[in-house]
Structure 1
Amino acid sequence: MAKHDFYDLVIIGGGPGGLSAAIYAMRAALKTVLVEKGVPGGQVTMSDEVENYPGFIHISGAELSMKFAQHAESYDLETISQEATALDPGLEYHTVTLANGEVLKSHAVILATGGSPRKLDVPGEREFYGKGVSYCATCDGFFFRGKTVVVVGGGDSAAEEALYLAKLCKKVYIAHRRDELRASKILQQRIFDDCNIEMLWNTVLTDIKAGPDGVEAVGLQDTVTKETRGLSVDGVFIFIGFNPNNELVPAGTRMNADGLVITDEKCETKSPGIYVIGDLRDKFARQIVLSAADGCTAALAAAHFVEAKKSAGPDTCELPADLDQ
């Protein structure tokens, strides 16, 4: 293995948390590499509007993501466009394996892998994905200009995406299983003020039907009366939360019932030198600013960890014996 394959820190995931961690790690002079299989920015890139990140009254998710990435790259951050397939913790160093077979070894690892859209798991959802079923309004909303769609969910994401779709679509329904939204009050008010949006309270989707040209209708059920009915729509947008991407989390790591990792205040797991941040970490709220804060915390903690590890070694200028070849 080449010497350049050993790092002080490997960051897996290039969302706000991972990029923030990279900025602080580079400023701490850690030999750092960021591994990201997709577009830098993570889920933020799918947001049409971001209005709650300090310093920006209004900015698109794509633009904010670009600014995060540009800031990190300004420090000559090394990046690898690959999927990380395994993380093996060790006593001397940790090992990260990539999809192309490359192996990275480092003193510390920050997991910033976020989450993936949660599925309804109703008939037609998987079959018609990309044919009228979507999990990203800003990605696919253009294709439904002047059409009728239904948004499923009741949180901030569902509200934000419904408001975006209301600018493009003839009609937007929001199907929510409860009788009140969980979204922030300001988003709720915008929903109620938009004459192009109609709420379907106490309603769940039972199935999705499609024809040769894509989605044509959905089945609905009232959660109170249990009555069912059909609704003609051209598209279905699902925003019911995210499942944590915890496949790389080492065995034995503490997690809650939802699969979110439990860490200490430094974002460190029970494995010394392995940190978990952002939407993969168990915490009170999930916001861009909190993911960025996690990145800062973990990178500073990793810097202290790496410094202590090197200071404890026989020669701070040498790599582990099996890598100095």
Structure 2
Amino acid sequence: MAISEHCRTIVLGSGPAGLTAAIYAARAQLEPLVITGQQPGGQLTGTTEIENFPGFPEGIDGNELMDRMRRQAERFGACFFDGSASPVELDRHPFRIHFEDRSATCDSLIVATGATPRQLGLPGEVELYGRGVSVCATCDGFFYRGKRVVVVGGGDTAMEDAVFLTRFAEKVTVVHRRDSLRASPPMQKRALDNPKIDFIWNCTVRRILTDAGGVTGIRIKNLQTDEETELACDGLFVAIGHDPNTGLFRDQLELTPDGFIVTTDGCQTSVPGVFAAGDVQDAHFRQAITAAGTGCQAAMQAERFLESLKGN
């Protein structure tokens, strides 16, 4: 399908939020253009099995789920451009979106560019996603029943993950680079009082140990003594935060101090006609189903916004 120079709606991003927005926008005959971004399908394409997305009692591969959602959006008339947007011009209406060697204007814009989990930067870390390394305890904790896992981090997310993982794991060990936690006092207490959680202080992970089956342990370094030791484990959960993909929108949309897009009344941003959905505006839940829900909201709000323009 040819890409128009002017679109009623453009969707930036192709994870659960962006593709759900595309499905709803296309069904509303808004003929959306979806600019997929650098990682078509979003973070779920790095997940081998998703067991908590409604409608798939046997679980589903992340790539397959995203492919199904894309085909569903295409069935209703969504057009896709596999590439990234840069820059965007939101200071006048219609908005102008540049992507690679072309640009298009749009009457409404849905931002679903997601967030990127921070990494430890270790060799093989990304390649081991789904084979012992995870950035989502809620997504993957179920796979570690009766096993030993390590959580890296000291903030609220790390403590929430550690406590959650005790429902499944035999033992949870938290590795933190400082001698005290950054988490809120209630979250600290829940984790410190849990008998299934051990803490290793003033240490960083230097290496992930593996065999043919996946993760077997980690090598850690004590930052006070420089001593390195090995710790056996079956899984490594990296919980050091996420960076929202909002670089395109700085000085154009209102952002939180952490860089997430501020939304009100559902998915409305600080610019009328621009809506945000998914992890780019959600610093708390970061689930496929919650992202999909906000994608639905954003598309419905975009449709209502476009309807309001007809009366002006």
TM-score, normalising length: structure 2: 0.74
Identity rate, percent? 24
- CA separation in 1, counterparts of 2:3 and 2:66? 32
Equivalence for 2:222: 221
Residue 101 (1) aligns with residue 101 (2): yes
User: Secondary structure at 1:201's aligned position in 2?
Assistant: strand
Task: Identify the match of residue 167 of structure 2 among 165, 189, 211.
Answer: 189
The 1:48–1:36 alpha-carbon spacing in structure 2 relative to 1, beyond 3 Å, is: same
Q: Which amino acid aligns with 1:218?
A: R
Confirm or deny that 1:133 pairs with 2:125: yes
2:81 aligned with 1:80:
yes
Partner of 1:264: 264
1:211-236 deviation line (CA, Å, top 9, x unaligned): xxxxx9733339xxx66642348999
Comparing 5-14 with 265-274, which one deviates more in the overlay? 265-274
| Structure 1 residue identity aligned to 2:295 | G
SS at match of 1:257: coil
> Shift of residue 79 of structure 1?
0.2
Q: Do the aligned partners of 2:137 and 2:164 also contact (CA within 8 Å) in 1? A: no
Could you tell me which amino acid in structure 1 is paired with residue 229 of structure 2?
A: L
* CA distance, structure 2, for counterparts of residue 71 and residue 295 of structure 1: 14
Distance (Å, rounded) in 1 between the aligned partners of 2:226 and 2:258: 30
Q: Which amino acid aligns with 2:150?
A: I
For residues 277-300 of structure 1, the C-alpha deviation after alignment (integer angstroms, 9 at most, x for no partner) is 100104642211111111111111
Of the three residues 144, 150, 154, the one matched with 1:174 is 150
What is the CA deviation profile of residues 268-322 of structure 1, one whole-angstrom value per residue up to 9, with x for unaligned ones? 111111111100104642211111111111111111111222442xxxxxxxxxx
Number of equivalent positions: 275
Kindly state the Cα deviation for residue 259 of structure 1 after the two structures are TM-superposed.
1.0
Give the corresponding residue for 1:163.
144
Cα–Cα, structure 1 residues 187 and 108, in superposed 2: closer, same or farther, change >3 Å?
Answer: same
Q: Is the 8 A contact 1:217 1:233 kept in 2?
A: yes
**How well do the aligned residues superpose, as a CA RMSD in angstroms?**
3.7
Contact 2:149 2:237 in 1 (8 A): no
1:147-189 C-alpha deviation (Å, 9 max, x unpaired): xx7x5878436746x739x7xxxxx651445698523877433
CA change 1:252–1:7 in 2 (3 A) is closer
Q: What SS does the aligned partner of 1:34 have? A: strand
Contact 1:263–1:282 at 8 Å: present in 2 too?
Answer: no
Change (3 A) 1:101 1:153: closer
In structure 1, stretches of 5+ residues that fail to align are 142-148, 167-171, 211-215, 313-325
TM (norm. structure 1) is 0.71
Letter in 2 for 1:69: R
The structure 2 residue matched to 1:231, chosen from 217, 229, 232, is: 229
State the one-letter code of the partner of 1:137: Y
Q: Which moved more, 1:175-184 or 1:15-24?
A: 175-184
> Per-residue deviation at 1:39?
5.0
Gaps of at least 5 residues in structure 2 are 173-195, 209-216
Closer/same/farther in 2, CA of residues 49 and 199 from structure 1, 3 Å limit? farther
- Matched to 1:133, the amino acid is E
